Amino acid sequence: MSTVLDNLVSQPYKHGFVTDIESESAPKGLSEDTIRMISAKKNEPEWLLEFRLQAYRHWLTMTEPQWPNVHYPKIDFQAISYYAAPKPKKKLSMDEVDPELLRTFEKLGVPMHERAALAGVAVDVIFDSVSVTTTYKEKLAEVGIIFCSISEAVHNHPELVKKYMGSVVPAGDNFYAALNSAVFTDGSFCFIPKGVKCPMDLSTYFRINTQDSGQFERTLIIAEEGAKVSYLEGCTAPQFDTNQLHAAVVELVALDDADIKYSTVQNWYAGDENGVGGIYNFVTKRGLCKGHNSKISWTQVETGSAITWKYPSCVLLGDNSIGEFYSVALTNHMQQADTGTKMIHIGKNTKSTIISKGISAGRSNNSYRGLVKIGAKADGARNFSQCDSMLIGTQCGANTFPYIQVNNPTAKVEHEATTSKIGEDQLFYFQSRGIPTEEAVSMIINGFCKDVFQQLPMEFAVEATKLLGLKLEGSVG
């Protein structure tokens, strides 16, 4: 058992390499001048600069939150470079894209053309902070869908960005959201007009590349009345020794009868077995079910990052709206995860489901923290939560911190949590059927996570299953 664990734990990071592209970085440090510089570089309108500056001024008055169950050295916000862009070269078509860059994606297993064509996925590739290329744009444009980088959206659709940006996660929402609002460099923008069902899964592939450059993406997805979209986000990062801060903001808006499904597979560099290096993943993700009968569903598979700290949430404002959260969080070595969700029921007959599966191995610490809040007007609200933890090894920790606040007597809220380990008898059963221990463990873990994997789009489900296998390879048995 322990040797398998050791092997599993000692899997080297398979995506660790640094692409050697000249990048244009801002000098380290944060001030109003840095923000003006970013804004000027990106040729932004005055209102956006004002939005950034207001966020920055608010950020200055805030203090770093201390409540999460994670520990890390204090971040020096002045030691981070807030802007990095690959040196601009005229790029006319895919053939002219820096071959070095393309090779990076190939190493990651994202052959852009094939992937886009075969998998039917439009990939908005983010390489450090600037969108390099966007595929399938025309095909989407035919049905009126806007899918582009947020900087393009600022120029081409300023009225939409202005209307919705900051409407779900206000600039001063929390410390890291304020920081992001001040310095975000790029991200994805997606607008599905009234009555349109997006014909393909939309996807963005992130990759943090330049050493010491924090990434501050901003994603904004708007689904108008009756629209439907499934959005995929996946990430890997090269191996670095210095910690990289990642403070993204994701905002989803669903109007009447709209349906947004947001899936994430996160496999950023987690640091080595002694906890050196790795990404700090401090993300604010929130969806607003603004209209009646709207639905937002979050699915996440978190396997990377030294520290994961995020709570994809749903504000259920419209009557009969639905919020869902499906999560698998796996921590190994010295990784720390404090993740969960918030379901804020405001409208009548709103429903939410939370399924969270935490797996801790090595010396890691895995916490579920969730809030279910039923407002006084949310008649007939319904919530079901299930948070299961699995411990592999004796030095890891699993915690659950569910907050349940109910202000309406007609609400029905249920919460269940269990903690378990892989039973000796379960392993014995598999072995007696001729299945080797390692495979048995992988099957048990996949079974444990089944409820969540079922929610993932096909390609991601395959990737996620592989990821868990890879992460735990040789660690249990």
Partner 1 sequence: MNVTATHPYVAALLAGSGALPKSPAAWLDARRAAALERANALAVPTTRDEEWRFTDLTPLTKLQVQPVTTAVKVSAGDVAAHAVPEAAISLVFVDGVPAPELAQRGALPAGVTVIALTDALKSHAALVEPHLGKLAGNEPAGDDLFTALNTAFLQHGVFIHLANNAQLKAPIHLLFVAAGNGVATYPRCLIVAEGGAEACVIEDYVALGEAAYLTNAVTEIAVAPNASVRHIKLQRESQKAFHISTCAVTLAKDARFQSHAVTLGARLSRNNLNITQQGEGAQIEIDGLALIGGRQTADTHTLMDHTKPHGTCKQTHKTIVGGAGHAVFNGKVFVREGAQLTDSSQQSRNLLLSDKAHVDTKPQLEIFADDVKCAHGAAVGQLDADHLFYLKSRGLPEAQARNLLTYAFGAEIIDHIPVPSLVAVLEKLVMARTEAGV
Q: What residues make contact with partner 1 under the rule CB under 8 A?
A: 67, 374, 376, 389, 391-421
- Minimum CB distance to partner 1, residue 467 (Å): 22
Helices (DSSP H) in 402-436: which residue ranges? 424-432
Nearer to partner 1 (CB atom), residue 219 or residue 475: 475
At 307, list the tokens: 């520290």
- Minimum CB distance to partner 1, residue 432 (Å): 22
At 36, list the tokens: 């003006």
Nearer to partner 1 (CB atom), residue 214 or residue 370: 370
Evaluate whether 253 touches 289 at the Cβ level (below 8 Å): no
- Rounded distance, CA 250 to CA 266, Å? 15
Nearer to partner 1 (CB atom), residue 160 or residue 417: 417
Nearer to partner 1 (CB atom), residue 421 or residue 466: 421
Residue type, 414: E
Nearer to partner 1 (CB atom), residue 42 or residue 369: 369
Nearer to partner 1 (CB atom), residue 159 or residue 424: 424
Nearer to partner 1 (CB atom), residue 21 or residue 417: 417
- Rounded distance, CA 390 to CA 446, Å? 12
Nearer to partner 1 (CB atom), residue 156 or residue 405: 405
- Minimum CB distance to partner 1, residue 356 (Å): 12
Beta strand ranges found along 174-278 (DSSP E): 188-192, 202-207, 218-223, 228-236, 244-246, 249-254, 259-267
Facing residues of 218 across strands? 249
Q: Residue 237 to residues 267, 304, 397: CA-CA distances in angstroms?
A: 8, 9, 26
- Rounded distance, CA 137 to CA 146, Å? 8
- Minimum CB distance to partner 1, residue 350 (Å): 15
Nearer to partner 1 (CB atom), residue 221 or residue 413: 413
Beta strand ranges found along 27-176 (DSSP E): 84-86, 122-127, 130-134, 146-149
| Secondary element (H or E) of residue 327 | strand 322-331
- Minimum CB distance to partner 1, residue 182 (Å): 26
- Strand 351-361 and strand 122-127: pairing? unpaired
Q: Residue 402 to residues 295, 311, 405, 452: CA-CA distances in angstroms?
A: 23, 12, 10, 19
- Minimum CB distance to partner 1, residue 370 (Å): 10
- Strand 130-134 and strand 122-127: pairing? antiparallel
Nearest partner of 362 among 16, 8, 69, 70, judged by Cα: 8
| Secondary element (H or E) of residue 325 | strand 322-331
- Minimum CB distance to partner 1, residue 136 (Å): 45
- Minimum CB distance to partner 1, residue 7 (Å): 18
- Minimum CB distance to partner 1, residue 338 (Å): 12
